[in-house]
Amino acid sequence: MADKILEYLHSSTGKQIAAALGMPVPPQLKRAKAGYADKPLAGVNALVGASANSATAAALVKALDMLGANLKVSSDLAGLDGVKQAAAKSKVDVSISQADAGVSESVLVLDVTSAASVADLRLLYDFFQPRLRRLPGNARIVVIGRPRGDSKDALAETAQASLPGFIRSLAKESGKNGTTANLIQLKSGAEAGLEGALRYFLTPHSAFVTGQVLPVVGAPKGAKAVAFSEKPLTGKLAVVTGAARGIGAAIAEVLAREGATVIGVDRPADESTLGATMSAIGGIVCPLDITEADAGLKLAAVAAERGGKIDIIVHNAGITRDKMMRNMASHLWDMVLDVNLGAIVRCNEQLLNGEAFGEGARIVCISSIGGIAGNVGQTNYAATKSAVIGYVDALSKELSGKGIAVNAIAPGFIETQMTAAIPVVTREVARRLSSLSQGGLPVDIAEAVTFMASPLAAGVNGATLRVCGQNLVGA
Ligand code: NAI
């Protein structure tokens, strides 16, 4: 499925015509061409700031150094002190940068975890304002704050509560050249999860994620810490439902790229398409309707045949049966509820009861921004996708102590067969109404799922991350 208008506007004739007519051209997003690298920011200038008394600046400086970035601090603002102290402590080199020195940084990271008053918020202005005019295309902005309930008093909570609004607005202002801006809410004591989250948000793996808030709250109790290695999913057995085509096929491919062995599940009627997708990645074909009463038991049996337990399950299979509620036949309600929600809950119950999950397993569910904003004609679909967001939150708590993390990805408009079926005008509006002025590709969802399924998301649990280019629908 392709966005023909975008393809045309990126051709040389299209660019000339757009320039002559004064039409904005959606940015060409820089996506990852290969798997996670050890030093993804080698040769990249990263400007970093932090308040003088930040308790997380040392972890931040260390993480950026691990990623290979050329660390710079700005001489013209208060953030200088916090970073210099942290760098000296961590024995990491930093150089001084000036806003008007002509050095362009394509990564800007600001730690405001210690912002505890209205006056402390001035750092946001001082750090970003002088630099935004010169940001190169596909730049990365990350602000680090605290999640709700993690600050010492009401005033500090208030200062932290400014950050989601700030980052969403900054993302809207800076998306025109493909720049993304996201907020990591780092819980005190969860610093070990920072490096992994930065590996995702500061690299092309997250090209279609902007204006989002991701809480990093610490690994589930019982989970072992794993240091970064290339191909981080080597030796892992991953189940992907709805893997024959679209987003599911892309998820299977990216999980395999990072080293996982994939069991691809799809309806028996789609076995030949599934076979082709799996043979391209050395995956295992599992024709199975996930609404079968014992689908979870069957998946456990397939994993056991391979001599293993399930390390990752991605509940991606989903359907739409759109009708205005007043015209909706009951079987359309039941069908959508069962495929998109009932099957996931049943399957997980059977896998958990049968102890079919491996140590430190990851469950990733696919929600939708339709479940956040609601859509006309989608009461059934939106109810299921909204439920998934509550489900991952609740299940992550219920599984506390078992070392299993549960998260969700909420895609926005993604170019697949599902969205190709949308009437043309609605489709064009849905595509363009985002900060990046385009729809996403299945690989964007696959990258986000793979992040959630890997040790990079060790500190993330119970969260839903939107991958939507900050689409206005669902905002
Ligand atoms: P798709 O229709 O292209 O693929 C879905 C796959 O699931 C198909 O291969 C289908 O055969 C399989 N499937 C459906 N029912 C099944 C069942 N009972 N048992 C086994 N397999 C079954 O859909 P797409 O676009 O790839 O969507 C994937 C997921 O992403 C879905 O959960 C969808 O709701 C969600 N999503 C997609 C968006 C988009 O823009 N394409 C936006 C938001 C969410």
> Do 283 and 210 fall within a single domain?
no
Q: Is residue 99 part of a domain?
A: yes
Q: Is 414 in the pocket of ligand 1 (CB under 6 A)?
A: yes
pLDDT score at 16: 57
Instruction: Specify whether 376 is located in the same domain as 361.
Output: yes
Position 112 scores a pLDDT of: 96
For ligand 1, whether the C-beta of 248 sits within 6 Å is yes
* Cα–Cα distance, 470 to 474 (Å, whole number): 9
Nearest CA to ligand 1 atom 4: 246
Last residue of a domain, one of 185, 216, 247: 216
How far, in Å, is the centroid of ligand 1 from the Cα of 462?
22
pLDDT at position 215, please?
Answer: 98
- Residue 88 has phi, psi (to 5 degrees) of -65, -40
Q: Are 332 and 381 in contact (CB under 8 A)?
A: no
Out of 254, 267, 364, 380, give the residue to mutate to test ligand 1, the one with the largest number of ligand atoms within 8 Å of its CB: 267
In whole angstroms, give the CA distance from residue 425 to residue 406: 37
439 lines ligand 1 (CB under 6 A): no
The reply to whether 221 falls in a domain is no
For residues 175 and 306, membership in a common domain is answered with no
The DSSP bridge partners found for residue 315 are 365
Query: Pick from 216, 247, 280: which residue ends a domain?
Result: 216
**Beta strands 237-241; 464-467: pairing state:** unpaired
Ligand 1 centre distance from Cα of residue 18 (Å)? 35
Give residue 145 CA to ligand 1 midpoint distance, Å. Answer: 34
- Cβ count near 118 (within 10 Å): 11
Residues 470/175, Cβ–Cβ less than 8 Å? yes
Q: Does any domain span residue 4? A: yes
> Atom of ligand 1 at shortest distance to CA of 413?
40
Is 68 found in the same domain as 21?
no
24 and 36 belong to one structural domain: no
Binding site membership of 319 for ligand 1 (Cβ less than 6 Å): yes
Ligand 1 neighbourhood includes 256 CB (under 6 angstroms)? no
CATH number of the domain to which 408 belongs: 3.40.50.720
Q: What is the pLDDT along the chain (475 residues), one digit of tens a residue?
A: 677 666 656 766 656 555 555 556 899 999 999 999 999 999 999 999 998 789 999 999 999 999 999 998 887 665 677 888 888 888 888 888 776 666 678 999 999 999 999 999 999 999 999 889 889 999 999 999 999 999 999 999 999 999 999 999 999 999 999 999 999 999 999 999 999 999 999 999 999 999 999 999 999 888 888 889 999 999 999 999 999 999 999 999 999 999 999 999 999 999 999 999 999 999 999 999 999 999 999 999 999 999 899 999 999 999 999 999 999 999 999 999 999 999 999 999 999 999 999 999 999 999 999 999 999 999 999 999 999 999 999 999 999 889 999 999 999 999 988 788 888 888 888 888 899 999 999 999 999 999 999 999 999 999 999 999 999 875 5
Number of domains in the chain: 3
Task: List, as one string, the DSSP characters of 418-462.
Answer: HHHTS-HHHHHHHHHSBTTSS-B-HHHHHHHHHHHHSGGGTT--S
Proportion of the chain in helix, strand, coil states, percent, rounded to 5: 45, 15, 40
Q: State whether 281 and 411 are in the same domain.
A: yes
Query: Rounded to whole angstroms, how far apart are CA atoms 207 and 210?
Result: 8
* Cβ atoms of residues 291 and 300 within 8 Å: no
Yes or no: say if 31 and 138 are a contact pair by the CB < 8 Å rule.
no
Whether 475 maps to a domain, the answer reads no
Shared domain for 24 and 40, answered yes or no, is no
Provide the pLDDT for residue 301.
Answer: 98
Q: Do the domain assignments include residue 411?
A: yes
Residue of 239, 254, 266 to mutate, ligand 1, most atoms within 8 A of C-beta: 266
Answer yes or no: is the C-beta of 271 below 6 A from any ligand 1 atom: no
State the Cα–Cα distance between residues 269 and 313, nearest whole angstrom.
22
Whether 222 maps to a domain, the answer reads no
Residue 77's pLDDT is 67
Query: Are 81 and 101 in the same domain?
Result: yes
pLDDT in tens, 35-62: 999 999 999 999 999 987 899 999 999 9
Question: Which residues form the domain of 153?
Answer: 31-216
The answer to whether the CB of 267 is under 6 A from ligand 1 is yes
**422 CA distance to ligand 1 middle (Å):** 15
CA 280 – ligand 1 centroid, Å = 20
- My answer on whether 188 and 245 are in the same domain is no
Q: Whose CA is nearest to atom 32 of ligand 1?
A: 318
CB 287 within 8 Å of CB 267: yes
Judge whether 324 lies within some domain: yes
- Ligand 1 atom closest to Cα of 381? 34
Confidence at residue 22, expressed as pLDDT on a 0 to 100 scale: 55
- Taking the centre of ligand 1 as the mean of its atom positions, its distance from the CA of residue 382, in whole angstroms, is 14
Which residue in 36, 200, 381, 391 is the catalytic one? 381
> Would you state the torsion angle of the CA atoms of residues 40, 41, 42, 48, taken in this order, to the nearest 10 degrees?
-150
* pLDDT score recorded for residue 216: 98
Give the residue from 169, 186, 216 where a domain finishes: 216
Any atom of ligand 1 within 6 Å of the Cβ of 471: no
What pLDDT score does 52 carry? Answer: 78
Q: For ligand 1, what atom is nearest to the CA of residue 317?
A: 7
Residues 294, 358 share a domain: yes
How far, in Å, is the centroid of ligand 1 from the Cα of 129?
42
Distance from residue 276's CA to the centre of ligand 1 (Å): 17
| Known active-site residue 381 | yes
- Ligand 1 atom 10, closest CA: 242
Same domain? 296 vs 405 = yes
Would the CB of 247 count as within 6 Å of ligand 1? yes
Say yes or no: 120 and 7 in one domain.
no
pLDDT of residue 17: 56
Does some domain include residue 432? yes
